[in-house]
Amino acid sequence: MRTALRSHVGKVRQVNEDQAWSGLLGDGLTAAIVADGMGGHRAGDVASGLAVDSLVASLQAWKPDEPNADKTELLREWIRKANEVVFETASLNEQYHNMGTTVVLALIEGNNGWIGHIGDSRAYRFRDGSLSQLTDDHTLVNELTKSGQLSPEEAAHHPRRNVLTRALGTDRDVEVDVQAIDWRSGDRLILCSDGLSGLVEQQKLLEALEERNANLETQAEKLISLALDAGGDDNVTVVLVADDGADGATGGVTA
């Protein structure tokens, strides 16, 4: 398994409020996280940083010696713990009032994977020349689209398309969406903030991933470039996870 992580502040923002991490946990487990913070006076990057730090601590403290452990419940527990950390920090510090963050967390083990998320940071799976969106955005516009009040075309340009209906850290309790997925050799997983998915059409994402002879790092750079070429009006972060039969991973936290 290999991972590649790239992040860019974009062409408009002064601070990168995205945070991400990827790495190998041992015993064949690979994990990846993307969080996109929100809040004024640098509170967004505080929220995303706290969330990623909490999730990484949970991942690294977990001992995968229980093969029958329910991974969906583990992801839900870890994300709820991160929610508590962000919420309590905001409650105790006036300058961080109402800060929050999106989060998407992926865990891959053998032929299985698990995705947990809150907000509109996304997970996609590239398989056999097709790209599928795995997560469902927790946004007002997505709710209006699902109810038939907006068409997909109207949603793409709606002035409130970035309004979240659910975020990590803004409330004491939060609902977490968790799902199990199957995983095959040759698959690629893409986690990203809306700085990518909100600016770049899915077909262009697919074309970037289909480029022959491009390594994982090159593909991650290409995806960042697509967002910047599309205007770059938000921070943009992407983590790629690939099962190409090779060992090794690169990872880290973006700031």
CA–CA distance, 243 with 13 (Å, rounded to integer): 34
How would residue 250 be classed by pLDDT, with cut points 50, 70 and 90? very low
Least confident window among 85-99, 130-144, 171-185 = 130-144
Characterize 84-100 residue by residue with b for buried, 16 or more Cβ atoms within 10 angstroms of its Cβ, and e for exposed. Answer: ebbbebbeeeeebeebb
pLDDT at 171: 95
**What percent of the chain stands above pLDDT 90?**
76
Checking if the pLDDT of 76 tops 60, the result is yes
CA–CA distance, 139 with 149 (Å, rounded to integer): 14
Residues 158, 88: contact at Cβ < 8 Å? no
In the numeric block, the tokens 């029958």 are attached to 68
CA–CA distance, 27 with 24 (Å, rounded to integer): 9
How would residue 252 be classed by pLDDT, with cut points 50, 70 and 90? low
pLDDT tens across 138-163, in order? 988 777 777 777 766 666 666 666 78
CA–CA distance, 167 with 201 (Å, rounded to integer): 24
- Rounded (5°) CA angle 170-174-176: 125
CATH architecture of 2-242: 4-Layer Sandwich (3.60)
Residue range 49-78: average pLDDT?
90
Residue range 167-196: average pLDDT?
96
CA–CA distance, 232 with 245 (Å, rounded to integer): 34
pLDDT at 255: 46
| Residue length of the chain | 255
- The 8-class DSSP code of residue 150 comes to S
Cα separations in angstroms, 191 against 34, 60, 162, 187, 237: 6, 20, 18, 13, 8
Secondary structure (3-state) at 184: coil
pLDDT at 35: 98
CA–CA distance, 190 with 104 (Å, rounded to integer): 10
CA–CA distance, 105 with 114 (Å, rounded to integer): 8
Give the β-pairing of 2-8 and 236-242: antiparallel
Q: Which amino acid appears at position 156 of this protein?
A: A
Could you tell me the two tokens for 30?
Answer: 């690979």
Region class of 148: left (phi > 0), else alpha (psi between -120 and 50), else beta: left
Q: Which amino acid appears at position 144 of this protein?
A: L
pLDDT at 26: 77
